[in-house]
């Protein structure tokens, strides 16, 4: 089964496009002596990326709810695993109870690659909450008359090499393309060019005519669409996305579900007491309900989507199933 998000009303979808997925109820932080010192949000990538930008924006609103300073630090390396190894193996409930780790989906599913020889599973992480969700998007140059839609891309790929710029190995761009190569025979021999400079590098590849198409996420590429530099080809979601309602999904065009996305979650040290977890959860939920914060994330085109408990775990497990079906790690053996 592919990831299936809960259906919501057309009115709610309209609001979601304006405000983000923040169907939240105000919840106060319990009166307690915790936290009693600054809280750290540890981002697993270098400064300047999407996760870094998002949580630096979020930090002051979480600080307001927790009543202590909230600072963002960056622990980059290993495709995120330098940080995630600390979160799962080195953090302790006593020493690191004032730390929150950012865990990116589907990036952590690189642990499924046998060549990585990692022992971690989803259960190795003490997940707190899902924070945001940005579906996959494929784009071409606005003035590229070869491609008007996904059917054109597939027809071209049947007869010609198709070169696509994607982000990191094991990221959502890679997963989406790898799954497409399995689902649609014409896309089997697509050549992926990995960008070590993130979305800026991918955009340079595309506009410089070094690649035919770029794989990214809706939020980051909206401005390029508005400026008529790039044309959206398809959205990797189970239904049209509110920010791009006229763009067909991969499934609508091919009949094959291909649902990939950039998801950001927050985790904490294993063994953290339930009382402290509840304090964090209440603060995160209320901070994400702050209208000022919602407006700022709206300007970033970042869609907030608070989930916890079973709802969060359903998303996590569905995301892992997508990665398993794509088996993107097989690309490294070719």
Is pLDDT of 1 > 50?
Answer: no
Domain 10-134+261-333 CATH (choose: 3.40.190.150, 3.40.50.720, 3.40.50.300, 3.10.20.90): 3.40.190.150
Q: Which of 43-52, 101-110, 234-243, 254-263 is least confident?
A: 43-52
Task: Give the pLDDT score at 70.
Answer: 98
Instruction: Report whether pLDDT(332) > 80.
Output: no
Could you read off the pLDDT of 190-202 as tens digits, one per residue? 999 998 777 888 9
Does residue 7 register a pLDDT over 70? no
pTM of the model: 0.78
Query: Cis omega (within 30 of 0) on the bond before 35?
Result: yes
Top CATH class of 135-254 equals: alpha beta
- pLDDT classification of 331: cutoffs 50, 70, 90: low
Residue extents of the structural domains in the chain: 10-134+261-333, 135-254
Per the CB < 8 A criterion, the answer to whether 114 and 329 are in contact is yes
Render pLDDT for 275-290 as a digit per residue (tens, 0 to 9): 999 999 999 999 999 9
- pLDDT > 90? residue 274: yes
pLDDT mean over 77-84: 91
**Per-residue pLDDT, 24:** 40
Q: Do domains 10-134+261-333 and 135-254 have the same CATH topology?
A: yes
Confidence of residue 10 (pLDDT cuts 50, 70, 90): very low
Max avg pLDDT among 165-174, 304-313, 319-328: 304-313
Query: Whole-number mean pLDDT of the chain?
Result: 87
229 Cβ contact list (under 8 Å, min separation 6): 141, 142, 207
Helices and strands, number each (H, E), in the chain: 11, 10
Q: Kindly report, residue by residue over 44-71, the tens digit of the pLDDT.
A: 988 877 788 899 999 999 999 999 999 9
Distance CA 82, CA 63 (A): 26
């Amino acid at each position: 089964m592919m990831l299936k998000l809960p259906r919501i009303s057309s009115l709610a979808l309209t609001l979601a496009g304006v405000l983000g997925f923040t169907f939240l109820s105000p919840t106060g932080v319990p009166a307690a002596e915790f936290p009693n010192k600054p809280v750290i949000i540890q981002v697993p990538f270098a400064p300047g990326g999407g996760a870094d930008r998002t949580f630096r924006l979020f930090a002051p609103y979480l600080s307001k709810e927790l009543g202590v300073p909230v600072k963002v630090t960056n622990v980059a390396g290993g495709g995120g695993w330098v940080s995630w190894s600390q979160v799962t193996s080195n953090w302790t409930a006593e020493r690191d109870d004032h730390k929150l780790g950012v865990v990116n989906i589907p990036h952590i599913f690189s642990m499924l690659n046998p060549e990585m020889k990692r022992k971690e599973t989803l259960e190795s992480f003490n997940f707190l909450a899902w924070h945001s969700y940005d579906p996959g998007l494929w784009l071409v140059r606005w003035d590229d008359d070869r491609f008007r839609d996904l059917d054109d891309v597939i027809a071209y790929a049947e007869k010609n090499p198709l070169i696509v710029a994607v982000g990191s190995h094991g990221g959502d761009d890679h997963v989406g393309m790898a799954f497409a190569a399995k689902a649609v025979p014409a896309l089997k021999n697509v050549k992926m060019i990995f960008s070590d400079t993130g979305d800026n590098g991918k955009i340079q590849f595309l506009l410089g005519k070094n690649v035919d198409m770029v794989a990214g996420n809706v939020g980051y590429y909206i401005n390029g669409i508005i400026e008529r530099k790039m044309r959206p080809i398809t959205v990797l979601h189970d239904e049209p996305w509110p920010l791009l309602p006229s763009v067909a999904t991969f499934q609508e065009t091919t009949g094959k579900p291909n649902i990939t996305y950039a998801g950001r979650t927050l985790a904490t040290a294993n063994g953290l007491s339930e009382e402290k977890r509840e304090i964090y959860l209440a603060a995160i939920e209320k901070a994400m309900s702050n209208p000022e914060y919602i407006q700022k994330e709206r300007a970033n085109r970042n869609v907030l989507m608070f989930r916890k408990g079973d709802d969060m775990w359903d998303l996590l497990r569905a995301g892992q199933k997508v990665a398993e079906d794509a088996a993107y790690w097989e690309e490294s053996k070719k």
